[in-house]
Amino acid sequence: MIDSVERAEGTPEQPQPYHELGLKPEEYQRIRDILGRRPTSSELAMYSVMWSEHCSYKSSKVHLRQFSELPHSDALLVGMGENAGVVDIGSGYAVTFKIESHNHPSYVEPYQGAATGIGGIVRDILTMGARPVAVMDPLRFGPADAPDTQRVLPGVVAGIGGYGNCLGLPNIGGEVVFDDGYLGNPLVNALCVGVMRHQDIRLAKASGPGNLVVLFGARTGGDGIGGVSVLASETFAAGGPARRPSVQVGDPFTEKVLIECCLEIFAADLVVGIQDLGGAGLSCATTELSSAGSGGMHVVLDRVPLRDQTLAPEEILMSESQERMCAVVRPSDVDGFMEICARWDVTATVIGEVNDSGRLTIDWRAERIVDVAPRTVAHDGPVYQRPRARPSDLDNLLADDPGRLPRPSTPEELRSLLLRMIASPNLCDKTWVTEQYDRYVQGNTVLAQPEDAGVLRIDEHTGLGVAVATDGNGRFTRLDPYAGAQLALAEAYRNVATTGARPLAVTNCLNFGSPEDPAVMWQFAEAVRGLADGCRTLGLPVTGGNVSFYNQTGAAAINPTPVIGVLGVIADVGRRTPMALGSVPDEVVLLLGETRPDFGGSEWAWSEHHHLGGRPPTVDLERERALAGILIAASEQGLLSAAHDLSDGGLAQVLVECCLRGDVGAHVELTGDPFEALFAESAGRVLVALPRERVPRLADICRAHAVPVTQIGAVQFDPVLTVAGQFDVPLAELRAAFTGTLPALFGTPQHRE
Amino acid sequence: MKIGVVTFPGSLDDRDAQRAVRLAGGEPVALWHGDEDLRGVEAVILPGGFSYGDYLRCGAIARFAPVMQSIIDRAGQGLPVLGICNGFQILCESHLLPGALTRNVHLHFRNRDQLLRVENASTEWTGAFEPDAEIVVPVKNGEGCFVAAPGELDRLEGEGRVVVRYAGGNPNGSVRDIAGICNERGNVVGLMPHPEHAVETLTGPSTDGLGFFTSVLTAAVS
């Protein structure tokens, strides 16, 4: 029997499985109060999924407000609240970018979880009216040698490649990090960048009574329904569909065709509003579109094209089948719209109509199954001020200073430490991962991993381009969430500036444990406050992002891991600064910034001693701003031949990476304690290289910005990294150590020479 | 000179191939898979990508596209045709070239800058190279492992129809390090590497890929 509105009115006492759908008793009561009756099962399904943590941000909302309260930025064309923020990069171009998580599905089913993570973020970008032009993937896994990592990592990487490569999106950067806490809780974040002209920006709203609602793309199936199956089994006790897989299955070919189809539709100006179908599927799209527009919509659910004719209406409303979009189209434009869809073999169906009734009404088999004020579903979900408490173990952690750990005491020990460090899973070469991604497609990739930031050409004639970097450090954030979030922001900001681009905007993916744990909630609140304050100091707007809670197994939460994405603009990508040494004669190497004995939360403490304690490095955002000013000015004046930011693993790591990238040796002389000089992780430092005769000009810029600069060495003809008075390591030995780790762990592809 | 670049549903490097034609001095013309009309082009490029999602087999569906019927006919009359990656797969499925492209031996998609040796510098698409020239061009494929019957391979070798060979490591397990082959007449060439991604120093590992596009322009003039 169909659980219609009429039936719901007549059976107020019928028990409903709100608990199984994740609603609290008071939330269920609130739905009853809003409707003035019990919800139908379809309405209950819609409220339950839209009021879930994932869709409603009910635990994070009170904190995230700080991002929208940041000072106005002229660069921001569309701010938070839409599918993705949009930034003005000049010359009439706008860029949209956003990062999202797909952590839980990727643990359950690594390939499809990661693949549909790409698919979802790409549709968000497309929905804004933009052509998606690149993706990036910050990834975090359990220990590299853990059996489950052997299952999760190869699947995730293959899924990202399988989906992203097939969409024709270059993968230009990201991270691969291993840490015990991510065992059972891998973090699979995905960032997408899109480009459009200013006038092409589209918004998710259903305006204009009489306009038609068109569902297009893939047919709706039974995937990604998850818990809502309980409703269906209650409603159709006998002969109903079996329990469905909760992870969606992606089809990148359908999405690629959908992208091209949408871009043609946009170019012909045939949509009034558009929304992709992601989490919460049609429930989300219809309620968000109507509440942002004229306020009402009527949908005939029978018209939704199905893959599986046995689906119940609740399931159709909830289905998270991929590669679907919902557009609002003027009646006079429907023929043109359908023509473009037919050209691309995209299924498109008019499923409803916009009205100004203030109600979203949905019919199924000629009965009314939904009659709600859409705003109550989409925006008036519960908001919680969750209790927060500083973790009880934090004082002990902070007091456990890494100064007590044994350090290398001889040049020989220092040399073998260097070789061990560059071979450690977090610091080693990530080619095993990144060569499974296409970085060339679209022909505009100027820099890609392992460079500091991905750099894309936007305009072939002027060379206008953008740079994007993502960074996060769960260990720093565990020790001090406020500082940890700012360190992640500072690193992404520095990475963008290192290429010569001017940072413009921030997106974030906040990966945390359970918000019901006061200690996690404290970490979250501190991290958000740190990030908001940091953005204020750097003068950057937050354009959007994503919160992922419940990344924990049992009582153990992951290290709090805000992953920060920064986007910058560069007027001419021809002057981007790469990381490889050796491109110019008589090249000298200088260090910008100051080194202090910062080992709290460092890679050295972790990989050598499995130690996490002490204080993370001090973050000085004014100094970061000054440093960025130097890097941008030096790039504009064409001074630098190479630059590379110092972060995990310190100076030693950067020297090795810059030498190997350029296949040249370097000779450096260090002052002070050589171990601290090589491995400390003080923030605000960048290695730069340039022809010797330009050094005075760089020194002038550094003086003007009040940032210390030290000449530490030069590129040398011999293929050897020399640390004067300490040790020499031939490049071949460095390369063998740096590149051997991941193939040894995850399999060496055979060659037929 | 007009050079057509076909777009199938799922083509990815079509605009890149158009850019390469433009940078080489030619006039790129977009051709649509569903349209038999070749719009007066004097050469055709089948670009990389995943036509029809690589469903069934890579290139197996694209081979039946209306535009392919025209291309197959005209290729028999000498029209220069270059298939890159998915385009190479389509040419094999169309029987314009022998052999087949199968899953890489290591089963991974692989994107790297690849050293290649040009073994036949007299095809319509390789005339601009010196014989035995070593060039660097990106490879990026999941199903780029070239296979053919032993007799067919000997014939290809004997007739000088191995156009390009992998050097400095074989990225996908192709037999005899074969990266590209041509038909008997030398007007149809299939390449697994992507020359259209080696046409600008800013975005590619080299500009060695330009030679494939200038070759056909020069061939047309002479």
Sort out which chain A residues have CB atoms less than 8 A from B16's CB and list them: 440-443
- Examine residue A518 and say whether the peptide bond preceding it is cis (omega within 30 degrees of 0): no
Pick the range with the lowest mean pLDDT from A233-237, A312-316, A420-424, A454-458: A233-237
Q: Tens of pLDDT along A587-606?
A: 999 999 999 999 999 999 99
Amino acid at B135: I
pLDDT exceeds 60 at position A224: yes
**Active-site residue, A751 included:** no
Residue A238's pLDDT is 42
Which segments of A90-146 does DSSP mark as H helices, in order?
103-108, 110-127
* Average pLDDT of span A306-314: 93
Closest in B12, B50, B112 to A435, CB measured: B112
Assess A13–B contact: CB distance below 8 Å, yes or no: no
**Chain B touched by A440 (CB under 8 Å):** yes
B110–A161 CB contact, under 8 Å: no
Average pLDDT for A198-227: 88
* Cβ contact A569:A90 at 8 Å: yes
Out of A53-67, A462-476, A649-663, B154-168, pick the least confident: A53-67
* Contacts with A340 from chain B: Cβ below 8 Å: none
Query: With contacts defined as CB-CB under 8 Å, which chain B residues touch A251?
Result: 53
Please determine, for residue A229, whether its predicted confidence score (pLDDT) is greater than 70.
no
Q: How confident is the model at residue A227 (pLDDT cuts 50, 70, 90)?
A: low
Q: How far apart are CA B201 and CA B211, in angstroms?
A: 14
User: Whole-angstrom Cα distance, residue A749 to residue A742?
Assistant: 11
CB atoms A440 and B170 under 8 Å: no
**Which parts of A644-687 fold into alpha helices (H)?**
650-662, 674-679
pLDDT tens per residue across span A161-194: 999 999 999 999 999 999 999 999 999 999 999 9
Q: Which residue of B has its CA nearest to A261?
A: B9
* Partner A contacted by B173 (CB < 8 A): yes
Alpha-carbon gap: A165 to the closest alpha carbon of chain B (Å)? 8
Mean pLDDT estimate for chain A: 94
pLDDT at A241 over 50: no
Put simply, the answer to whether B10 touches A345 (Cβ < 8 Å) is no
What's the pLDDT at A236?
Answer: 39
Tokens of A528: 């958000």
Quote the CA–CA distance of A582 and A663 in Å, as a whole number. Answer: 7
Residue B6 belongs to what H/E stretch?
strand B2-7
Distance CA A135, CA A157 (A): 13
Q: N- to C-terminal Cα distance for chain A?
A: 67
| CATH architecture, domain defined by A5-60+203-378 | Alpha-Beta Complex (3.90)
The predicted pLDDT at position A230 comes to 54
Other C-beta atoms lying within 10 Å of the C-beta of residue B220: 15
CA distance A140 to A101: 11
Residue A196 has pLDDT above 60, yes or no: yes
Task: Note the pLDDT tens digit of each residue in A148-160.
Answer: 999 999 999 999 9
Q: Supply the DSSP symbol for A60.
A: T
Q: How far apart are CA B197 and CA B9, in angstroms?
A: 21
Residue % of chain A over a pLDDT of 90:
90
Q: What is the pLDDT of residue A1?
A: 84
Contact across the interface for A441 and B12, Cβ inside 8 Å: yes
Q: Do A749 and B105 touch (CB under 8 A)?
A: yes
In contact, A152 and A141? CB cutoff 8 Å: yes
Task: Pick the more confident residue, A678 or A554.
Answer: A678
Whether the CB of B66 is below 8 Å from some CB of chain A: the reply is: no
* Banded model confidence at residue A203, pLDDT cuts 50, 70, 90: confident
Predicted pLDDT at A226: 62
Task: Compute the distance between CA of residue A540 and CA of residue B201 in angstroms, rounded to an integer.
Answer: 33
Mean pLDDT, residues A137-142: 98
Whole-number Å distance between alpha carbons of B173 and A497: 41
CA gap A408, A726 in Å, rounded: 12
Give how many domains chain B has, as a whole number. Answer: 1
B201 touches chain A (CB under 8 A): no
pLDDT grade for A216, boundaries at 50, 70 and 90 = very high
- Nearest one of A393, A701, A686 to A523, comparing CA atoms: A393
- C-alpha distances in Å from residue A238, one per residue of A42, A235, A736: 19, 9, 63
Has residue A235 got a pLDDT over 70?
Answer: no
Q: Residue ranges of chain B with pLDDT lower than 70?
A: 221-222
State how beta strands B81-84 and B188-191 pair: parallel
The partner residue sitting opposite B170, judged by closest CB among A162, A253, A753, is A753
Q: How far is A438 from chain B (nearest CA, A)?
A: 6
Residue B194 annotated in active site? yes
**Model confidence over A687-744: pLDDT tens digits?**
999 999 999 999 999 999 999 999 999 999 899 999 999 999 999 999 999 999 999 9
A92 touches chain B (CB under 8 A): no
Query: Measuring CA to CA, how many Å separate A364 from each of A32, A240, A312, B28?
Result: 22, 17, 10, 51
User: Shortest CB distance from A446 goes to which of B13, B52, B202?
Assistant: B202
Categorize the per-residue pLDDT at A750 as very low, low, confident or very high, splitting at 50, 70 and 90.
very low
Q: Would you state the pLDDT for residue B222?
A: 62
Catalytic residue among A19, A63, A72, A102: A102
Residue type, position A232, single letter? A
Assigned token pair, A518: 């006061």
State the average pLDDT over residues A493-510. Answer: 98
A355, A209 in Cβ contact below 8 A? yes
Active site residue A298: no
Read off the pLDDT band of A295 (50, 70, 90): confident
- CA distances (Å), B51 to each of A111, A343, A346, A602, A730, in order? 21, 15, 15, 47, 46
Chain A residues with CB-CB distance to B5 below 8 A = none
Q: Is the pLDDT of residue A364 over 50?
A: yes
Q: How confident is the model at residue A472 (pLDDT cuts 50, 70, 90)?
A: very high
* Residues of B in Cβ contact (< 8 Å) with A166: 10, 12, 50, 53-54
Which residues span the domain enclosing B169?
Answer: 2-221
Distance from CA of B94 to the nearest CA of A (A): 22
CA-CA-CA-CA dihedral for A319, A325, A330, A331, to nearest 10: -60
Choose the closest CB to B138 out of A161, A254, A440.
A440
Please give the structure tokens belonging to residue A692.
Answer: 């010797």
The count of other CB atoms within 10 Å of the CB of residue A749 is 17
Beta bridge partners of B119: none
* Partner A contacted by B138 (CB < 8 A): yes
| CATH label of the domain that carries residue B188 | 3.40.50.880
> Which residues does chain A have within 8 Å of residue B10's beta carbon, measured at their own beta carbons?
166, 253, 256-257
What are the strands of the beta sheet with A367-372, ordered from one edge?
A273-276, A324-329, A212-217, A348-355, A296-300, A360-364, A367-372
Q: Label residue A231 by pLDDT band (50, 70, 90).
A: low
Between A320 and A638, residue with greater pLDDT = A638
pLDDT digits (tens, 9 = 90+) for A556-566: 899 999 999 99
CA-based max dimension of chain A: 88
pLDDT at A753 over 80: no
Cα distance between residue B190 and residue B178, in whole Å: 11
Are A115 and A250 contacting, i.e. CB atoms less than 8 angstroms apart?
yes
Q: Across residues A463-475, what is the average pLDDT?
A: 98
Q: Please tell me which residue, B133 or A21, carries the higher pLDDT value.
A: B133
Between chain A and chain B, how many beta carbons pairs sit less than 8 Å apart? 105
Token duo for residue A178: 């291993």
Q: Which residues of A touch B111 (CB under 8 A)?
A: 434-440
CA A714 from chain centre, in angstroms, equals 37
Distinct helix (H) and strand (E) counts, chain A: 26, 28
pLDDT, one tens digit per residue, over A503-536 is 999 999 999 999 999 999 999 999 999 999 999 9
How far is A360 from A290, CA to CA, in rounded Å? 7
The pLDDT score that the predictor gives to residue B114 is 98
Catalytic residue (one of B33, B58, B85, B92): B85
pLDDT digits (tens, 9 = 90+) for B30-80: 999 999 999 999 999 999 999 999 999 999 999 999 999 999 999 999 999
pLDDT in tens, A634-674: 999 999 999 999 999 999 999 999 999 999 999 999 999 99
CA distances for A472 relative to A183, A228, A510, A566, angstroms: 17, 34, 10, 12
Higher-pLDDT residue of A484 and A229 is A484
Provide the percentage of residues in chain A whose pLDDT is more than 70.
Answer: 96
Closest partner CB to B111 (pick from A439, A442, A751): A439
CA-nearest residue of chain B to A256? Answer: B10
Residue A234 has pLDDT above 50, yes or no: no
Number of Cβ within a 10 Å radius of residue A385: 10
Among B27, B34, B35, CA closest to B3: B27
B109:A436 CB<8 A:
yes
User: In Å, how far are A212, A291, A317, A363, A704 from A299, measured between CA atoms?
Assistant: 10, 14, 11, 6, 63
Instruction: Return d(Cα A156, Cα A154) in angstroms, integer.
Output: 6
CB contact under 8 A, A443 and B16: yes
Mean pLDDT of A399-425: 97
Which 3 state secondary structure label does DSSP give B19? helix
CA–CA separation, A454 and A138 (whole Å): 13
Per DSSP, the residues of A590-610 read EEES------TT-HHHHHHH-
Q: How far apart are CA A605 and CA A345, in angstroms?
A: 56
A165 reaches B (C-beta below 8 A): yes
Q: Report, as an integer, the average pLDDT of A531-545.
A: 96
Q: Which of B11, B104, B109 is the mutation pick for testing A, counting most A CBs within 10 A?
A: B109
With a cut of 80, say whether residue A488 has pLDDT above it.
Answer: yes
Is the pLDDT at A198 greater than 70, yes or no?
yes
Residue of B106, B140, B194 to mutate, testing the A interface (most A Cβ within 10 Å of its Cβ): B140
For residues B173 and B105, the answer to whether their CB atoms sit within 8 Å is: yes
CA pair distance A640, A625, nearest whole angstrom: 18
| Cβ(A488)–Cβ(A635) below 8 Å | no
Asked if the C-beta of B142 comes within 8 angstroms of chain A's C-beta atoms, the answer is yes
Q: For position A179, what pLDDT does the model report?
A: 97
Judged against a pLDDT cut of 70, whether residue A237 lies above it is answered with: no
Interchain contact, A257 vs B108, CB within 8 Å? no
Compare all CA atoms of chain B with the CA of A438 and give the residue at the minimum distance: B111
Residue type, A691: P
Domain layout of chain A by residue ranges: 5-60+203-378
